[in-house]
Chain A
Amino acid sequence: MTALILARHYLRATYRSKLSVLFSAIQPIMFLVLFGPLFARSGVGSWDVLVPGLLVQLTLMSAGLAGFGIFIDQRFGVLERLRVTPAGRTALLLGRVLRDVVVLLVQAALLLAIGFVLGLRAPLAGLLLGLALLVVLAIGLASLSYAIALVMPDELFPPVASTAVVPLMLLSGALLPMSLAPPWLDVLSRLTPFRYVVEALRAFFAGSYGGAAVAWGMLAGLAFLVIGVALGTRVFHRENA
């Protein structure tokens, strides 16, 4: 309940700065518009292969960098002000994460809409399952992002986080399927959870809901959620967070 109150509050503020929502989605949108047409004619795959990857890229850039937002609150005493209230510490985290999930869904809808205009076709069930898996991933990522932002020195987090999402995105095979990769890159990519999510999304978009790719993707997403929320909750329970 408290988390919902907080989420509503954050969403009101986000609604006032709508442009920021567009801004954190701008990279995948640019890939979609400026790289997508090339990709679709490359013979590697079509829009239903690229768009799932861009959705994971979006999640990395949006939920993964959610931690940026906590600095201002920390600097201006907002965090401390919330911490002297009886609000549960887990709710203080989940309220933010909930906002991040809603923002991500709006961004994903925008990305999908542009994708459809460009030629993406996918079954509705596949799209909805894909979004559900993205939400799972986003909850874990955003929680982890807040945890790291609060633990790391202020000046280090922005460069480290924005640099880290680039290899994570590339290793997920978001832009080109990892089936094209040399063995060493393939192994490296299998060590990140995002690859499995990308492959599950591609299966969903292709209308396949029961294969190994889907199972691995859901497992990776859920594992990531559990770890992210556990770490986030721990940090929010610490003093000084």
Chain B
Amino acid sequence: MIHATALTKTFTTGKRTVEAVRGLDLHVAAGEIVGFLGPNGAGKSTSLRMFTTLLKPTSGTATVAGYDLVAEPAEVRRRIGYVPQGNTVAPIAQVGEELELQARLYGMSRAEARDRVAETLRALDLTGVEARPAAALSGGQRRRVDLAMGLLHNPRLLFLDEPTTGLDPQSRANLWDHVRRLRDREGVTVFLTTHYLDEADALCDRILIIDHGRVVTEGTPADLKAELGPSATLDDVFLHVTGRELRESTAA
């Protein structure tokens, strides 16, 4: 579903250059849930923004959902869903209208869009929020609206950037359930970033740990832990490969 070779992204602002991603090689198979784990500033969001056609790679190549990122971005866009790290709806905007617009931009008719929005809201336990402005929703509801935006067109490949950051434990668990259901019932491939090691451990088939724009280690949660000894946790793995505690590195 995702094949990237030597993908890099360098930002230049004035005289400063930041090598946000330096040579990313990765392969994600259909139906996998892959976690992209790393401290703040490691290059997770930048990678996702390249995979979702929002940023052009500085160098390297990638195919996403079967299409070349740079040559055929429109084909990629049709097939992927993306839930960014931040919001997707302005506070004063009406949730239902925004969702309907999003559905229509994927080619649905007005009637199809309305049905699909209702269906998606039901699946995410959001029925009744349509007529409300986003500002009137709780944090958890708002995050689920962001998720709904990425799911309306039934993408086969879903990118989630820190989907549960800032949510209470209950909402987090619900969101995990939903992601698992998407994969188990519909075979959706999920590529997600997270701060939470327990989330990666519980949800992902495979984990890539990224630091300073490079993948420093990868494997199944079990393999990564086994390498360090019988009682190791993912926290230990993280500390081992990045030299930092994840919570420390993200506290700032």
Contacts and interface: CB of A to CB of B under 8 A. Distances in A.
A81 to B, nearest CB: 4
A5 B105 contact: yes
Interface of B: 52-56, 74, 77-78, 80, 82, 84, 86-91, 93-94, 97-98, 100-102, 104-107, 149
A86 interface: yes
A188 B78 CA distance: 50
Contacts of B90: 72-73, 75-76, 78
Given A12-B97, A13-B93, A80-B54, A85 B77 contact: yes
A234 interface: no
A85 B149 CA distance: 10
Given A73-B90, A76-B91, A84 B97 contact: no
Given A5-B101, A78-B93, A239-B55, A86 B88 contact: no
B86 A77 contact: yes
Contacts of A16: 94
Nearest to B86: A77
A138 interface: no
Given A81-B149, A86-B78, A2 B94 contact: no
Nearest to B91: A76
A95 to B, nearest CB: 10
In the A-B complex, list the 7 residue pairs whose CB atoms are closest, starting with the nearest.
A85-B105, A81-B88, A76-B90, A9-B101, A87-B105, A86-B77, A84-B82
In the complex, which range does the number of interface residues on chain A fall in? Answer: 20 to 34
26 contacts: A5-B101, A9-B97, A9-B101, A13-B93, A13-B94, A13-B97, A16-B94, A75-B90, A76-B86, A76-B88, A76-B90, A77-B86, A77-B88, A77-B89, A80-B54, A82-B102, A82-B105, A83-B53, A84-B52, A84-B54, A84-B82, A85-B105, A86-B77, A86-B106, A87-B105, A239-B54
Given A85-B77, A239-B54, A240-B55, A78 B105 contact: no
Contacts of B52: 84
A6 interface: yes
Interface in A76-120: 76-78, 80-87
Contact of B102 (A2, A72, A77, A81): A81
Given A75-B90, A85-B77, 8 more contacts: A5-B101, A76-B89, A77-B84, A77-B89, A82-B102, A83-B53, A86-B107, A240-B54
A187 to B, nearest CB: 37
B10 to A, nearest CB: 13
Contacts of A6: 101, 105
Given A76-B91, A86-B74, A240-B55, A81 B84 contact: yes
Nearest to A88: B74
Contacts of A9: 97, 100-101
Contacts of B77: 84-86
A226 B200 CA distance: 51
Contacts of A81: 84, 88-89, 102, 149
A80 B52 CA distance: 10
Contacts of B91: 76
Interface centre among B89, B90, B105 (most CB of A within 10 A): B105
Contacts of B54: 80, 83-84, 239-240
A85 to B, nearest CB: 4
A76 B87 contact: yes
Contacts of B78: 86
A5 B87 contact: no
Contacts of A82: 102, 105
A239 B97 CA distance: 26
A81 B104 CA distance: 13
Contact of A2 (B82, B86, B105): B105
Given A73-B90, A84-B53, A239-B54, A5 B104 contact: yes
Nearest to A74: B90
A90 to B, nearest CB: 13
A237 to B, nearest CB: 11
